[in-house]
Amino acid sequence: MNINLKVWRQENKERKGGFKTYRLQDVDPNISFLEMLDILNNKLIKQKLDPVAFDHDCREGICGSCGFMINGQPHGPQKATTVCQLHMRSFSSEDEIVLEPFRAKAFKVIKDLSVDRTSFDRIISAGGFIPVDTGNAEEANTTIVEKTNADEAFLSAACIGCGACVAACKNSSAMLFTAAKVSHLALLPQGEPGKKERVQKMVATMDEEGFGACTNTGACSAECPKEISQENIARLNREFIKSQL
């Protein structure tokens, strides 16, 4: 298949960026999307041009490194799929494919399609943990956790922190990301101590980092490659209100 790429090129966060177009011919539909970009980059390098910068690592859909907009959708058209798991067979020959970085005030562009998502780490540092020192834990099976709660907590904890939720949101809100962590810990008895402080600090940090407010449109959850449910947001709101009482 042949494809026409329109790629956002931006040298760094200070410089202005813009689109450049590239045509690739005879692309094997069975290669992954990132392998297609590898091919493009090898071509560019051979022409002594700067390759397209993009983040990626595990290429198994779990590390959360990859992610950019493909035709206006975070991670592209396939449901519940990160860019690295997307294959060229999802497109047709002669398609125009537009690539842009995740855009948000709290995600500064590093170069081309690569953005700085360390603001997520600062939200976690604000309270996304259980304060327990190493070596002080009691025998594991003395903590009984209802299977339904454990399974629910797991689903929330499955967030890969890729930032698609923020990119999908018209307000660039980090609500789903933050809510997933709050939920994961709130659903478990281990998360009980420090519960109030956790949700308050995490929400405050979210605001400080420049993420927008949540208006419950659900775009985040719809675009989430791990299908993190919007129910997490309801749970965060509940935890937040409870913490004020």
Partner 1 sequence: MKNPVLDPRTPSGALHRCWSNHKEDLGVLSGEEANKYKVIIIGTGLAGASAAATLAEKGFNVDAFSYHESPRRAHSIAAQGGINASKNYKNDGDSTKRLFYDTIKGGDFRSREENVYRLAEISANIIDQCVAQGVPFAREYGGLLDNRSFGGVQVSRTFYARGQTGQQLLLGAYSALSRQLSKGKVRFFPRHDMLDIVVVDGKAKGVVTRNLLNGEINSHYADAVILATGGYSNVYYLSTNAMASNVTANWRAHRKGALFANPSFTQIHPTCIPVKNNFQSKLTLMSESLRNDGRVWVPKKKNDPRKPNDIPENERDYYLERIYPAFGNLVPRDVASRRAKEVCDSGQGVGQTGIAVYLDFKHVIKDKGKEYIEEKYGNLFDMYQKITDENPYKAPMKIYPAVHYTMGGLWVDYNLMTTVPGLFSIGESNFSDHGANRLGASALMQGLADGYFIVPHTITDYLSSEKPGSLNNTNEELFKKTTQKTAQEIEKIMNIKGTLVVDEIHRELGKTVWDKIGMSRNSEGLQEALESIPKIKEKFWTKLLIPGSKEDFNQELEKALRLKDFIELAELMALDALERKESCGGHFREEFQTKENEAKRNDLEFMYVAAWQYNKHGKPKLFKENLEYKNVKLKTRSYK
User: Shortest Cβ distance from residue 63 to partner 1 (Å)?
Assistant: 5
150 or 213: whose CB is closer to partner 1? 150
- Whether the Cβ atoms of residue 60 and residue 84 lie closer than 8 Å to each other: yes
User: Shortest Cβ distance from residue 201 to partner 1 (Å)?
Assistant: 9
Q: Is 81 helix (H, G, I), strand (E, B) or coil?
A: coil
User: Shortest Cβ distance from residue 171 to partner 1 (Å)?
Assistant: 23
Q: Is 14 in the site for partner 1 (CB under 8 A)?
A: no
Within residues 109-168, the interface with partner 1 by CB under 8 A covers 110-111, 114, 116-118, 120-121, 124-141, 143-147, 150-151, 153-154, 157-158, 160-161
- Whether the Cβ atoms of residue 51 and residue 39 lie closer than 8 Å to each other: no
132 or 234: whose CB is closer to partner 1? 132
Q: Is 101 in the site for partner 1 (CB under 8 A)?
A: no
Can you tell me the distance from the alpha carbon of 121 to that of 116, in angstroms, rounded to the nearest whole number? 11
- Whether the Cβ atoms of residue 166 and residue 177 lie closer than 8 Å to each other: yes
Q: Give 74's DSSP letter.
A: E
Within residues 58-87, the interface with partner 1 by CB under 8 A covers 58-65, 78, 80-81, 85, 87
- Count helices and strands in the chain by DSSP H and E runs: 8, 7
42, 92, 93, 216: which one contacts partner 1 (CB under 8 A)? 42
Can you tell me the distance from the alpha carbon of 71 to that of 68, in angstroms, rounded to the nearest whole number? 10
User: Shortest Cβ distance from residue 51 to partner 1 (Å)?
Assistant: 6
Q: Is 178 helix (H, G, I), strand (E, B) or coil?
A: helix
- Report the candidate in 172, 171, 170, 173 with the shortest Cα–Cα distance to residue 232: 173
Size of the site for partner 1 (CB under 8 A): 80
Q: Residue 230: count other Cβ atoms within 10 Å of its Cβ.
A: 19
Cα three-residue angle 14-19-20, rounded to 5 degrees? 120
Beta-bridged to residue 72, according to DSSP, are none
217 or 222: whose CB is closer to partner 1? 222
Q: Is 39 in the site for partner 1 (CB under 8 A)?
A: yes
Within residues 209-228, the interface with partner 1 by CB under 8 A covers none
Within residues 43-62, the interface with partner 1 by CB under 8 A covers 44-46, 48-51, 53, 55-62
Phi-psi region of 185 (alpha: psi -120 to 50; beta: other; left: phi over 0): alpha
User: Shortest Cβ distance from residue 102 to partner 1 (Å)?
Assistant: 13
145 or 213: whose CB is closer to partner 1? 145
Within residues 179-208, the interface with partner 1 by CB under 8 A covers 184-185, 188, 190-191
